[in-house]
Structure 1
Amino acid sequence: MNSASPHHFDLSKFPRHALLEGPTPIQHLARLSARLGGADIYVKREDLTGLGGGGNKLRKLEFLIGEALERGADTIITVGARQSNHARLTAAAAARVGLQCELVLTRTVPRSDHDYMENGNVLLDALFDARVHDLPGAANALQFAEERANELRAQGRNVYVCPLGGSSPVGCLGYADCAAEIVAQSQAQNVAFDRIVVPNGSGGMHAGLVAGLVALGLDPSRIAAFTVYGNAGHARTVTLEKANQTVRLIDPGLSVSDDDISIDEAQLGPGYGIPTDNMRAAVRLMASTEGLLLDPVYSGKAFAGLVEDVSTGKYSAGQKILFVMSGGLPGLFAYRNEF
């Protein structure tokens, strides 16, 4: 880490289009902390972003949209599951900046009820005037997106293709920046966090935070993730690769080691987007004690892991834990029958 300037790095060389209103707040969850006993729990409110219903993907999209606009794109295409938060926010960001948007959505989750198929994020995709391509779960969405992009290019369009979750190295810069934001807020509030807990889906948020801490000369192993997409081994491999690609964009002399990546698969359950009893209990607990709404796919499962860790004494009294609440509220409406 020697080639990084302590507690500072510069992202100004990367194209960026502002989509956030400013730093998202860090709040102490006093009632919840008292209810669980032990550690003090804080939350980073990534749901409190105004555009498109809010959520963590907007940080990535600031850099992705910035790059698309710099390249003169008139159309953006991205991929995701039927209820993808990233797809919904890509559509919203595209509407904000005047790009055409196409979403390649796969039926990855084994659900076909009306709420899942037509409510939640899918309803909002339509309101943002995105064109949706509905593919089977086994389809190669990114290949379809590239082929569709080539069709549009043949018609004279300039198309920018965005990967799953916006988790390209450029997209992950948004969470490297967030790491610096957390450090600044921690210093301003005089609170030193012993752990930062996040969900890990496509791995971009986790990878970006790790890359950011490495670039700041700080210990990235304090970040603990719960995978919600694949097993821990796969998630670790993907996250480590993305973290290294991201940190090298910031400083080619830096790297991330396997020991810097902490991922737990205990809350994954039967698989991505499939509800668990622990998730339902965690969503209800957060709502009933703090009035905050977690999504059922990402933060719901990750918060269930945090609750279990606090309840079983993994964290001692007085330790301070920051939970990154990723947003995804529309997903609750898609999973109405689960609650």
Structure 2
Amino acid sequence: MRPKIYPQLPPPFNQIPRYPILYHEPSPIHPLPTLSHTSTTTRTPPIPRISIFAKREDQGSPLACAGNKYRKLEYIIPDILSQTPTYYYHESHPATKPLPGPATILVTEGALQSNHTVQVAALARKLGLKALVLLNRDTGGGYKTSSAPECFAQTGNVQINRLLGAEIRMYNANNPEATDAQPVLDELTKSGQRPYWIPGGASLHSLGGLGYARAAFEIAAQEKEAQLGGSGRFDFIFVACGSGSTVAGLISGFKLLEKLRRSSGEASWDRGSRNIIGILTSPTRPQNYHEERVLRFARRAGELIGLLDAEMEVTMEDVHLDDRFVGDGYGVIDDETRKALSLMAETEGIVLDPVYTAKVAAGMMHWVHSEEMTKYAPEHGLQEVNVLFIHTGGQAALSAYFDRI
């Protein structure tokens, strides 16, 4: 049996409280041989060889609908469980103030088919707390483009939220709660509850980027075990960029890792930075908005984990986002998304989700055949390029899209 890998984190990163809800062993990284072979042989020219792997975050936790949000929540739980939780925040009310005792209910928001809300609800069950989720029908176009909108609002992640015992409140763009949850939090407080607010995607939480900073160290450890060809590491890492802290955490984590390797004289550091490509999943905001947001989150995480001057060490040059695969709207399936779902299922037997990972797969396959990757190999003296696709979960939403897949 192979030894389990535990990422070795440096101080002060390893001193930040974390409540484990992932499996003890890292989420697996699986080679995708059929997709790799097809990608290489259909390229012009067929050199470099493309080796594609998937990190299965959808297999990372025993809790319901495993996915990327559980990593973020691990670093938030210690505050939730403390006697004086200090995080009580909404974009419209940026002040931080303590709760007068341990949290009794977790409150969060998202689109109708939000993966994040399900993971928060499952976490509440794990911690013995109540859960309230605010679901906005007008976030993206999934509800509006469905041929059976009432079914869309009852199946998939909505159904799982109900199964988990979460209270569900649905809104549309005309409801004040769609943009400001403060009245709901005030209502709960007046009823004797102590609500702990977790912003959508957990990215606005001050600790939201730490989970994927840790994942960077985990991936680096798995690279060594995998004995990759070419550079010996993943040259390109593709991941969804929605609220932004998954990409940001990876950026800050790899930045710190490379800094440590450089200072220790490790030979591999001089290969340059890994290419972390965030595939945007919503066209509602321009790319530069997301880039600035990711940079802000990456610097915030960097300061916490040990980058002494995150403002200088993490720059816009580290942020690579691609908005070519957002489609017609958040949660809207277009032809490219549909083809990517089918391609991954038919070649590797892997089921993606229609909102995030299918768009990432579409973007990744475009990059695999692009001039950027063709140029990258000779510039770095490589005959083989290693590509990592991060599967962030979300398959439970598929049933809501029964009419479009």
Same fold (TM over 0.5): yes
What do the CA deviations read for 1:308-339 (whole angstroms, capped 9, x no partner)?
11134542461001111111011111111111
1:73 aligns with 2:103: yes
What do the CA deviations read for 1:284-304 (whole angstroms, capped 9, x no partner)?
000001010111111110110
Give aligned-pair identity as a percent. Answer: 34
Does the CA contact (< 8 Å) of 1:201 and 1:227 recur in 2?
Answer: yes
Does the CA contact (< 8 Å) of 2:238 and 2:360 recur in 1?
Answer: yes
Partner residue in 2 for 1:89:
119
Does the CA contact (< 8 Å) of 2:235 and 2:274 recur in 1?
Answer: no
Does the CA contact (< 8 Å) of 2:216 and 2:253 recur in 1?
Answer: yes
For residues 114-133 of structure 1, the aligned pairs below 5 Å read 114-133=150-169
Q: 2:18 aligns with which of 16, 19, 22?
A: 16
SS at match of 2:384: coil
Partner residue in 1 for 2:54:
43
SS at match of 2:13: coil
| Cα 1:145–1:15 shift into 2, 3 Å | farther
Partner residue in 1 for 2:373:
315
Q: 2:306 aligns with which of 251, 256, 262?
A: 251
2:109, 2:224 → 1: CA distance?
37
Partner residue in 1 for 2:323:
265
1:198, 1:138 → 2: CA distance?
32
Which amino acid counterpart does residue 244 of structure 1 have in structure 2? R
Partner residue in 2 for 1:135:
171
Which amino acid counterpart does residue 60 of structure 1 have in structure 2? K
Does the CA contact (< 8 Å) of 1:7 and 1:216 recur in 2?
Answer: no
Which amino acid counterpart does residue 343 of structure 2 have in structure 1? L
Superposed displacement of residue 13, structure 1: 3.4
Partner residue in 2 for 1:26:
29
Superposed displacement of residue 224, structure 1: 0.8
Superposed displacement of residue 97, structure 1: 0.9
Partner residue in 2 for 1:56:
68
User: Gaps (5+ residues) in structure 2?
Assistant: 1-7, 41-48, 86-101, 260-271, 375-382
Partner residue in 1 for 2:393:
327
Superposed displacement of residue 94, structure 1: 0.5
1:279, 1:169 → 2: CA distance?
32
**Greater mean alpha carbon deviation, residues 178-187 or residues 163-172:** 163-172
**Greater mean alpha carbon deviation, residues 226-235 or residues 210-219:** 210-219
Which amino acid counterpart does residue 330 of structure 1 have in structure 2? A
1:235 aligns with 2:290: yes
> Normalising to structure 2: TM-score of the pair?
0.78
Larger radius of gyration: 2
Which amino acid counterpart does residue 151 of structure 1 have in structure 2? E
2:22, 2:178 → 1: CA distance?
27
What do the CA deviations read for 1:267-287 (whole angstroms, capped 9, x no partner)?
011221111211110110000
User: Gaps (5+ residues) in structure 1?
Assistant: 1-5
Q: 1:185 aligns with which of 222, 230, 234?
A: 222
| Cα 1:139–1:302 shift into 2, 3 Å | farther
2:65, 2:130 → 1: CA distance?
19
What do the CA deviations read for 1:206-262 (whole angstroms, capped 9, x no partner)?
011111112223565520111112432121111111111111122362321000000
Q: How many residues align?
A: 334
SS at match of 2:403: helix
2:177, 2:55 → 1: CA distance?
31
1:173, 1:161 → 2: CA distance?
18
Q: 2:136 aligns with which of 94, 103, 106?
A: 106
Partner residue in 1 for 2:189:
153
Superposed displacement of residue 10, structure 1: 4.2
1:318, 1:211 → 2: CA distance?
26
Q: 1:199 aligns with which of 234, 240, 250?
A: 240
Superposed displacement of residue 7, structure 1: 7.3
| Cα 1:283–1:140 shift into 2, 3 Å | farther
Does the CA contact (< 8 Å) of 2:13 and 2:306 recur in 1?
Answer: no
| Cα 1:123–1:17 shift into 2, 3 Å | same
- Alignment RMSD: 1.9
